[in-house]
């Protein structure tokens, strides 16, 4: 069998092929997800339907439909389809497939060369595609899970249109699984499967946006469930746990348990309990919570409960979020765990949080007074004549870089919102604020 095999006709035997492969959509109308690119009237869909494409690069996470979309493009445009693996192939194989594509072109038929994991090619291998893309011998479609800005050479990248594909949502994966369960030709419809919507949702959550992973889990689950006397395969949560070889923790991402667990995490951090903080964070992640939701909440905790007592807390939580986005689960979970422990051990202050809340209350209960004239900028002569900037004191002209000038509206003059604590770095801020207020009260010399 050739390494470079043309697209197989749909009537070929489905026997032995995995469910994920059998259930690949055959047309744009069957494709679920990527509506921003493939919805009716969207530019990419119009280009595909008009057969007006240039070489392109599909960038997205595993199982989001990159290979499937490439096959649909080939089928819709009636092109030869040559799948090409960057893992298995080198320059010799590239030259072979290019020669085949050039021969096909002489017969008036275009060839789409689909390169999976194109980021695995080195520079010389990527260079080998350039003359054939420029000559129009092939339409190159690359697929990558890595940022192409760093992994694809600039000359090749400049000749390809990059499309960013997103991971499937939970709802989209459930829809794909439901389709497989009723399809008697390509799916599992002939197996008479009885399965609850709750189990399908759990499969979708655990798949983390990867449709292929969800299909594999469903297939293993159904085929690992023995038929009952009436021929039905009754799928239970216990069977799902057997297939996954892990216990499924009770969790509802949109229900009370979701809010109970995030509350437990937040309050454990606030109470400076690193063990409980790490436990509740792991409980959420292992139950299928969106890790980026947890990461965003950690950033909030850094601002709400730690604040200026440890100014680096926000940086640590944002770095943890970025680390998770780079690594993904399960390795990225450790970065979030590290941030949670850091927040729990950090000194605590809600002084800025409370100050902001007091300002919100004042904004609701007082008039929105104009900005005092002396701190307005006199950008024109007219504004200067109207008194803009009159009486302004430039702090850098003063020895201590502090003046007694009032910057709040007149009705709020003297109002103090921020009351720093004596915790961590905020203790130094508190001392600095006391020094500033003492200088402001000092008689002018």
Task: Give the pair of three-digit tokens for residue 389.
Answer: 């900037």
* The predicted structure's pLDDT at residue 380: 92
- In total, the chain counts a number of residues equal to 445
**CATH number of 433's domain:** 1.10.3710
CB 287 within 8 A of CB 251: yes
CB 127 within 8 A of CB 153: yes
CB 335 within 8 A of CB 300: no
CB 305 within 8 A of CB 426: no
Residue 433 burial (C-beta neighbours within 10 Å; 0-12, 13-18, 19+): middle
Phi, psi (deg, nearest 5) at residue 141:
-120, 115
Q: Are residues 330 and 264 in the same domain?
A: yes
CB 190 within 8 A of CB 84: no
Alpha helices in 12-129 (DSSP H): 19-22, 35-38, 43-49, 66-76, 91-106, 123-127
* The predicted structure's pLDDT at residue 312: 96
Which of these three, 147, 164, 181, is where a domain ends?
A: 164
CB 14 within 8 A of CB 22: yes
Is 353 contained in some domain? no
Phi, psi (deg, nearest 5) at residue 144:
-150, 145
Q: Are residues 229 and 265 in the same domain?
A: no
Q: Are residues 151 and 47 in the same domain?
A: yes
Q: Are residues 39 and 154 in the same domain?
A: yes
Q: Are residues 302 and 317 in the same domain?
A: yes
Number of structural domains (the chain) is: 4
Is 393 contained in some domain? yes
Q: Are residues 66 and 153 in the same domain?
A: yes
Residue-wise burial string across 169-179, b where 16 or more C-beta atoms lie within 10 A, e elsewhere: ebebbbbbbeb
Task: Give the pair of three-digit tokens for residue 34.
Answer: 């990527």
Angle (CA) 162-165-171 rounded to 5° is 170
Is 356 contained in some domain? no
> 10 Å Cβ neighbour count for 201?
18
pTM above 0.75?
no
Is 101 contained in some domain? yes
Is 237 contained in some domain? yes
Q: Are residues 397 and 433 in the same domain?
A: yes
Is 54 contained in some domain? yes
Q: Are residues 157 and 231 in the same domain?
A: no
Q: Are residues 31 and 143 in the same domain?
A: yes
**CATH number of 114's domain:** 3.40.50.300
CB 192 within 8 A of CB 226: no
User: Domain span at residue 240?
Assistant: 170-244
* The predicted structure's pLDDT at residue 54: 87
Is 58 contained in some domain? yes
Instruction: Identify the CA nearest to 216 among candidates 19, 70, 410.
Output: 19
- Rounded to whole angstroms, the Cα distance separating 24 from 370 reads 62
Helices H, strands E: what count in the chain? 21, 7
Q: Are residues 320 and 378 in the same domain?
A: no
Residues 6+ apart with CB under 8 A from 58: 66, 69, 70, 141, 142, 143, 144, 163, 165
Q: Are residues 25 and 60 in the same domain?
A: yes
**CATH number of 310's domain:** 1.20.272.10
Angle (CA) 348-353-356 rounded to 5° is 155
Residue-wise burial string across 242-254, b where 16 or more C-beta atoms lie within 10 A, e elsewhere: ebeeeebeebeee
- Rounded to whole angstroms, the Cα distance separating 279 from 136 reads 57
Instruction: Please report, in tens digits, the pLDDT of each residue of the chain (445 residues total).
Output: 344 444 444 445 666 789 999 999 999 999 999 999 999 889 899 999 998 888 899 999 889 999 999 999 988 988 888 887 766 667 777 777 777 777 777 776 778 888 888 888 888 888 888 888 887 778 889 999 888 888 888 988 888 999 999 989 989 999 999 999 999 999 999 889 999 988 898 888 888 788 999 999 999 899 888 888 888 999 888 888 777 766 555 555 555 678 888 999 999 999 999 999 999 999 988 877 889 999 999 999 999 999 999 999 999 999 999 999 888 888 899 999 999 999 999 999 999 999 999 999 988 888 888 899 998 998 899 988 999 999 999 999 888 899 889 899 988 888 899 999 999 999 999 999 898 888 888 876 5
Is 113 contained in some domain? yes
CB 57 within 8 A of CB 162: yes
* The predicted structure's pLDDT at residue 246: 61
Q: Are residues 48 and 135 in the same domain?
A: yes
- Rounded to whole angstroms, the Cα distance separating 224 from 432 reads 68
**CATH number of 174's domain:** 1.10.8.60
* The predicted structure's pLDDT at residue 5: 45
* The predicted structure's pLDDT at residue 444: 66
């Amino acid at each position: 069998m050739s390494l470079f095999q043309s697209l197989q006709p749909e009537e070929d035997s489905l026997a032995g092929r995995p469910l994920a492969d059998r259930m690949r959509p055959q047309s744009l109308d069957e494709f679920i997800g990527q509506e921003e690119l493939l919805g009716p009237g969207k530019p990419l869909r119009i280009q595909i339907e008009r057969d007006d494409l240039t070489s392109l690069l599909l960038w997205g996470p595993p199982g989001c439909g990159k290979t499937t979309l490439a096959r649909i493009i080939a089928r819709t445009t009636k092109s030869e389809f040559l799948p090409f693996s960057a893992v298995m192939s080198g320059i010799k194989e590239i030259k072979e497939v290019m020669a085949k594509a050039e021969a096909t072109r002489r017969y008036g038929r275009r060839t789409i060369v689909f390169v999976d994991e194109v980021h695995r090619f080195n520079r010389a291998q990527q260079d080998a595609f350039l003359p054939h893309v420029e000559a129009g011998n092939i339409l190159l479609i690359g697929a990558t899970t890595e940022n192409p800005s760093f992994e694809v050479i600039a000359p090749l990248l400049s000749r390809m249109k990059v499309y960013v594909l997103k991971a499937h949502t939970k709802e989209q994966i459930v829809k794909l699984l439901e389709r497989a369960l009723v399809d008697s030709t390509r799916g599992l419809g002939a197996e008479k499967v009885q399965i609850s919507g709750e189990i399908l949702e759990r499969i979708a959550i655990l798949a983390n946006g990867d449709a292929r992973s969800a299909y594999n889990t469903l297939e293993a689950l159904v085929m690992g469930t023995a038929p009952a006397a009436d021929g039905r395969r009754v799928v239970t949560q216990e069977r799902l746990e057997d297939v996954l070889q892990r216990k499924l923790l009770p969790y509802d991402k949109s229900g009370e348990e979701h809010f109970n667990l995030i509350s437990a995490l937040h309050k454990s951090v606030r109470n400076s309990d690193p063990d409980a903080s790490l436990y509740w964070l792991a409980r959420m992640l292992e139950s299928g919570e969106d890790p980026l939701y947890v990461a965003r909440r950690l950033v909030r905790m850094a601002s709400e409960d730690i604040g200026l007592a440890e100014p680096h807390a926000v940086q640590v939580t944002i770095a943890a979020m970025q680390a998770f986005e780079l690594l993904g689960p399960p390795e990225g979970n450790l970065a979030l765990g590290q941030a949670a422990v850091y927040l729990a051990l950090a000194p605590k202050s809600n002084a800025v949080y409370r100050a902001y809340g007091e300002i919100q209350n004042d904004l609701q209960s007082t008039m929105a007074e104009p900005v005092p004239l002396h701190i307005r900028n006199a950008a024109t002569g007219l504004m200067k004549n109207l008194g803009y900037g009159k009486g302004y004191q430039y702090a850098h002209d003063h020895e201590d870089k502090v003046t007694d000038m009032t910057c709040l509206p007149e009705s709020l003059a003297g109002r103090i919102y921020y009351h720093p604590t004596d915790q961590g770095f905020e203790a130094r801020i508190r001392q600095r604020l006391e020094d500033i207020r003492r200088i402001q009260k000092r008689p002018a010399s």
